[in-house]
Structure 1
Amino acid sequence: MEFSAIFDSSTSFTQLRDPVYTFISKIFNSQVTEKRHSSNSQIPFEYCHDLSANQTSYMIPTMNLAMKGGEQYYLTSPTEVFSTKG
């Protein structure tokens, strides 16, 4: 999918708008094997996955963007882990 973006090197959070957001999130979630977390008003993210209490790792899909001219921009740490009680 082709789209335009502005990169801010001092920001660690990226916000994508539709239709790019929906396109990327569907691909990302189709590759994640963990169970998707049910909606929770205390968690501001739409796509959260549950990890088991004894789980020590999880699969992070490889994601990169191809820039105009062919250069690759590899996304590092495209996920965030939050611990909860219970």
Structure 2
Amino acid sequence: MTRPVHAIDPDGPPDRKSVLFCPACDHRSPIEGDWTVRERATSVEYRCPDCEALLTEREREQLPITRAWSAWVRAASAWLKPPKRLRA
């Protein structure tokens, strides 16, 4: 049995689950719409194309080897730092 397909009225209200709204200028568009997407090393930013406001920043999925390397670097950096001196 197939599910019925509902036509979307372009002049009707947007489906809130599939539309992002800019909090700064009220620009709205689907997640796949005209948002400016900036890929960073560990995250992806979604910005408004009109006012450049940050809508959301999502972490990128990392490979297990990348996570292990990052943990090792953090541990080695913490171990190699000189200890903080206590005030007398």
TM-score over 0.5 for the alignment?
A: no
**Larger helix percent:** 2
TMscore range, shorter length = under 0.3
TM-score, length of structure 2 as denominator length: 0.24
